[in-house]
C-alpha cells in the first residue's frame, strides 16, 4: 500500500513540475550553498527536489519495513501505519506547495527540511495569510480545514463542505466540537460557513455539545459567533441547563 501511495505522490508532484521550474528561477538561494554562500552551479533542479521529497516518503515507509505483518496486530501499530501513510501524502505535498506558495521561502533551507516540519510551516503560513472577511475567506478557510483534516479531502464524485454529515449524523462543526478540536480549527469552520445554530440528531446545537463536554473556550467562541443559548434539544434541555448540570 505504501508503494502505491508513494507512486501517487510522485505523480502528483510531477504535475507541478512546470510551476517548480518557474519558482526555481525566482529563488535567489538557488545558486547558494547551505550556508548562503554564492556558488556557480544551481544546488537544485525540479527533478532533484521531487526526488528528495520521494526519498523522504520512502524513509517513512522504511521505518515500518522491519515489522513483521503479525506485529501490526499488537496495540496501535496498524492504526499508526495508516496514519503515517495518510500524513506522508499530505506532508509531501506541503513540502512542495509551501515553497511554491510562499515567496519568502528558500530552497537551500527547505531541501533537506523534514516533511513534517514543512507541513507545519505551510499550515502556519496558510493561517497567517487568510483574508479578514468575504467569500475569499470562506473559500480559503475551507481549503485549510481540509489540509488540517477538520473536514475530509475531496474524493471523486463527492463534494465536501462544512455541512457534510459523518457516520454519527453529526455536522462537521458538531463533530469538531465533540472531538475537542482547537479553537483555531472551530474558528476556521465558522469562517468557512459552518452554521452555528444548526440542530442535529437529538436536537442539539454546537454550543450544546460544547457545554455538554465542558469545552468552555469553545463555548465562548461560539457565543461570540452568535450561538443561541435558548435552543433546547429534543428533551427540552438548553445549553445553559447542560452546562449547569455538568458544573
Q: Could you report the per-residue pLDDT of 121-144, keeping only the tens digit for each?
A: 998 998 888 888 888 898 888 888
Looking at the structure, do residues 65 and 26 belong to the same domain, yes or no? yes
The verdict on 164 and 144 lying in the same domain is yes
Produce one character per residue of 181-211: b if its CB has 16 or more CB atoms within 10 Å, e if not: beeebbbbbbbbbbebeebbeeebbbbbbbb
Same domain, 181 and 236: yes
Percent of the chain with pLDDT over 70: 84
Strand partners for 5: none
Q: Can you give the residue range of the structural domain that contains 108?
A: 2-128
Reported as a pLDDT band with limits 50, 70 and 90, residue 99 is: very high
Picking from 128, 151, 185, the residue at the C-terminal end of a domain is: 128
pLDDT the model gives residue 219: 94
pLDDT given at position 17: 93
Calculate what percentage of the chain has a pLDDT beyond 90. 34
pLDDT band with cut points at 50, 70 and 90 for residue 39? low
Same domain, 153 and 119: no
Residue 236 is predicted with a pLDDT of 93
According to the model, what pLDDT value does residue 84 have?
76
CA diameter of the chain = 74
Number of domains in the chain: 2
Q: Average pLDDT of the chain?
A: 83
Q: Are 123 and 162 contained in the same domain?
A: no
Judged by DSSP in three states, 123 sits in: helix
Whichever domain contains 209, its CATH number is: 1.25.40.20
- Give yes or no: residues 29 and 101 share one domain: yes
Which residues, at least 6 apart from 179, have a Cβ–Cβ distance to it below 8 Å? none
User: What tens digit of pLDDT does each residue of 42-86 get?
Assistant: 568 899 999 999 999 988 888 777 777 776 676 666 667 777 777
Give the pTM. Answer: 0.71
Instruction: Cell 517548480: give the residue.
Output: 20
Which residues are within 8 A (CB) of 247 and not within 5 positions of it... i.e. 6 or more apart?
A: none
Same domain, 179 and 110: no
Predicted confidence band of residue 6 (pLDDT cuts 50, 70, 90): confident
Non-local CB neighbours of 54 within 8 Å, separated by 6+ positions: 6, 9, 10, 13, 92
What's the pLDDT at 38?
A: 54
158 and 118 together in one domain: no
Together in a domain, 87 and 141: no
pLDDT at residue 157, rounded to an integer: 44
CB within 8 Å of 2: residues ≥ 6 apart? 60, 61, 64, 85
- Asked whether residue 158 carries a pLDDT value surpassing 60, the answer given is no
Whether 63 and 120 share a structural domain: yes
Strand-pair partners of 158: 155
Contact 195, 164 (CB under 8 A): no
Domain boundary among 103, 128, 153: 128
Q: Which residue has the higher pLDDT, 24 or 77?
A: 24
13 and 123 both lie in a single domain: yes
The pLDDT of residue 35 is 59
Please tell me whether residues 81 and 146 are part of one structural domain. Answer: no
Contact assessment for residue 168 and residue 175, using Cβ atoms and an 8 Å cutoff: yes
- Show which of 87, 107, 128 is a domain's final residue: 128
Amino acid at each position: 500500500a505504501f508503494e502505491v501511495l508513494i507512486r501517487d505522490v510522485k505523480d502528483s508532484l510531477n504535475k507541478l513540475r512546470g510551476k517548480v521550474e518557474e519558482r526555481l528561477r525566482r529563488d535567489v538561494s538557488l545558486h547558494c550553498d547551505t550556508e548562503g554562500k554564492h556558488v556557480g552551479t544551481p544546488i537544485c533542479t525540479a527533478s532533484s527536489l521531487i526526488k528528495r521529497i520521494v526519498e523522504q516518503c520512502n524513509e517513512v515507509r522504511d521505518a515500518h519495513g522491519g515489522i513483521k505483518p503479525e506485529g501490526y496486530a499488537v496495540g496501535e501499530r496498524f492504526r499508526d501505519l495508516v496514519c503515517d501513510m495518510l500524513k506522508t501524502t499530505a506532508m509531501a505535498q506541503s513540502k512542495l506547495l509551501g515553497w511554491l506558495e510562499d515567496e519568502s521561502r528558500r530552497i537551500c533551507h527547505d531541501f533537506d527540511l523534514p516533511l513534517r516540519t514543512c507541513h507545519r510551516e505551510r499550515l502556519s503560513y496558510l493561517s497567517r495569510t487568510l483574508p479578514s472577511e468575504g467569500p475569499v475567506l470562506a473559500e480559503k478557510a475551507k481549503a485549510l480545514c481540509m489540509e488540517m483534516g477538520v473536514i475530509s479531502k475531496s474524493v471523486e464524485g463527492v463534494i465536501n463542505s462544512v455541512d457534510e454529515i459523518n457516520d454519527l449524523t453529526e455536522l462537521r462543526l458538531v463533530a469538531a466540537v465533540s472531538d475537542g478540536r482547537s479553537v483555531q480549527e472551530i474558528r476556521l469552520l465558522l469562517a468557512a460557513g459552518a452554521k452555528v445554530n444548526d440542530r442535529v440528531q437529538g436536537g442539539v446545537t454546537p454550543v450544546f455539545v460544547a457545554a455538554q463536554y465542558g469545552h468552555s473556550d469553545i463555548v465562548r467562541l461560539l457565543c461570540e459567533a452568535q450561538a443561541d443559548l435558548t435552543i433546547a434539544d429534543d428533551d427540552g434541555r438548553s445549553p445553559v441547563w447542560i452546562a449547569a448540570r455538568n458544573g
